[in-house]
Chain A
């Protein structure tokens, strides 16, 4: 009899198996795309360029094989568990090294667990990737609510702080009583909120995006050359690169119709993130020259994951939730709670705003680790997994 089993906290193993007809339908839709006319400029200034999307579409329908991605995901231990009413999908890879440090790492938008796959080896099996057993992590990679194979929240209130609490529950449920967290993009927001809510068991965290800049950017120093460059990048983002953000934060349902119905619309929407990654991705398709691990295959893996799970609108809705939470926080005039655990930060040069140490210290006065590396951008874990993993090893070393 299973009456004693608590189905609400049960952890079920999970495998992906997309029906063939869904893949056929996707290919048919891409092939039937009705295109707009070409942009009127020679760069990214009017959006994702026609040649890039057309090459992506050609690759998608002719060379690309979703089954390889599916096999790659299914080769990792995947699970689902219901937390706070939402079914959360996650990858959980335990290191064979006993004293490994548990780490929950969160992807962002327009990403998914696909962003983080290349870091699994270096983080959980360091001795096979230039490290020592003392560098090992037990790795938990959840899909954000409304993203990928996690379910879509059907009620209001799933902002990043609720996700942060859900992650604490997840780590608790996995039996981890002392762990660290990491995130970039939306993942940085969630990770930081785990710290600010001082969730039980969290002993430190590492970020690769300084999200606080969106709220207090105007108050940060702009004296040094580096500070001025970061301020300029931030101003450019707000002026010119913010459109997707505002649209999703205000009208996620409206943009959702096109993203759910047109694969090419979805692809373009996901490609139109930041300038650095756009040109890297565009080159991967148009010139066949990927930068780091931002390969055509993995880029299309990520887009196809959004397509097959039909999650573009629900993912966009997370911006609506976070936008409201951010506005409420700003309106309250209250500073967020201080962080009491050590924080590490790595600045990647291609990030939307490459945060100088002074900015990071302004947000985290007791900054425990800071480093600037020489390559990588917004999708640092995806683009430079080995470098990214070595940053995490260094950042968390004092916590072992």
Chain B
């Protein structure tokens, strides 16, 4: 049985409630899952049936979801890693030709021997997960309701080369703030979807699933969950999604928080694209941001390739090591591969939530087991808009600037890009993968960002 078939069977079995019998821990999951949401699903279903033929065509049911990768898949993965045919060593002593051989070999050695996917699976299955059909596509999501009744509903969107794995460590601080130096009034109900083509969400079979469509689907998801007043958060592709949601301003969306804000003014963006020098009249902060963006645009050829030829990347479906190197080679302000990721590869344990080697492999293994390298890459192809240019979002926006991000958005640009800026803060640590790298700080920022809305 292929994984695809397995996944469908899992979904089908969930729908039939078979897993309730099959998995003893399921009862726990149900207990932790919101009663409201299953009631909502029921109610939504009834509503949509009477809402006309188009709405009735889509199954709005929300199915519990659990991950159970067959052992044969894990054996096969290890077999492939062990059988890797390696290139020669790069001819430089730094990272300028790509992810160095020694780094990938050491990761592969650990991946094939001591790494344990089952720990990741258990971590994921410890949080309530669901699948529901949105705009014709099965969307997988984590949904954790806070025990605090007045919690603010929040939808958080991951990016490339990430997944819901990036957000696992922020779930407890956000939903259970009193256990993490917060107050009951800091609590969120958290929804963390897997983007279309990513992780356990379905893979689109036709074009059109860009951030705009995702934004509309997320609004529908929150509505389906019964949330009438909520906020949205995102970084990387998640930032594109929340910007689009901001533009669409669906009923119920109160504000967005982004950790990769799109603030670059049009004239500056033109100068950047032309590869010219910084326009005159920039402040020191703006000039610094310009130089950071110039550097970033020299490190995004992986993005250019995925934006033009995602299908050609057969190797990230067929070769675990090919996939790992491809996912590792995302940049941050301090390097390509991102310094935060490269240093995590040397960290075997972490007491304070710092990124570890296991977490990097959890994410890579999730891409491998779901065979989503290529389907995820297609998101770059789908999106034809600008990258960091101001998009014209007019709803309330909160921004946190992490120092390791692609560029440090100056307050001046941020205020112009987001006229209803309700929060702006520069923090002193964390980077492109902020939620993953600095979960406590990230959670504190999200609390502060939205505190004025409560």
Contacts and interface: CB of A to CB of B under 8 A. Distances in A.
Interface of A: 33-41, 46-50, 53, 152-156, 240-244, 246-247, 249-262, 264-269, 272, 310, 312-314, 317, 320
B407 interface: no
Interface of B: 84-88, 90-92, 97-101, 104, 203-207, 298-299, 301-302, 304-305, 307-319, 321-326, 328-329, 336, 371, 373-375, 378, 381
B311 A257 contact: no
Contacts of A252: 90, 97-98
Contacts of A267: 314
B200 to A, nearest CB: 15
A317 B97 contact: yes
A37 B197 CA distance: 10
A269 B309 CA distance: 10
Given A265-B318, A269-B312, 12 more contacts: A33-B318, A46-B311, A48-B311, A152-B88, A154-B91, A259-B87, A259-B315, A261-B84, A261-B85, A264-B314, A265-B319, A268-B314
Pick the most buried of B88, B302, B373: most chain A CB atoms within 10 A of its CB: B88
B101 A253 contact: yes
A40 B204 CA distance: 8
B375 A250 contact: no
Contact of B308 (A241, A253, A313): A241
Contacts of A262: 314-315, 318-319, 322
18 contacts: A37-B205, A47-B309, A47-B311, A154-B88, A154-B91, A244-B309, A247-B305, A250-B301, A254-B302, A254-B326, A255-B326, A257-B104, A257-B326, A258-B314, A265-B318, A268-B311, A268-B314, A320-B97
Contacts of A313: 87-88
B319 A243 contact: no
A49 B311 contact: yes
Given A36-B371, A252-B98, A269 B308 contact: no
Nearest to B209: A40
A252 B101 CA distance: 12
Contact of B98 (A33, A154, A254, A260): A254
B84 A47 contact: no
Nearest to B97: A253
Contact of A251 (B86, B301, B373, B378): B301
Contacts, number: 186
Contacts of A241: 308
Contact of A34 (B101, B298, B318): B318
Given A253-B101, A257-B104, A155 B87 contact: no
Contacts of B326: 254-255, 257-258
A258 B304 contact: no
A258 B313 contact: yes
Nearest to A270: B312
A38 B310 CA distance: 11
B24 to A, nearest CB: 32
B1 to A, nearest CB: 14
B311 A39 contact: yes
Contact of A153 (B91, B299, B328, B329): B91
A109 to B, nearest CB: 15
A265 to B, nearest CB: 3
A40 B205 contact: yes
A269 B301 CA distance: 15
B329 A265 contact: no
Given A247-B305, A256-B87, A34 B317 contact: yes
A242 B318 contact: no
B262 to A, nearest CB: 22
A317 B100 CA distance: 13
Contacts of B381: 46
Contacts of B311: 36, 39, 46-50, 268
B378 A40 contact: yes
B98 A253 contact: yes
B314 A265 contact: yes
B315 A37 contact: no
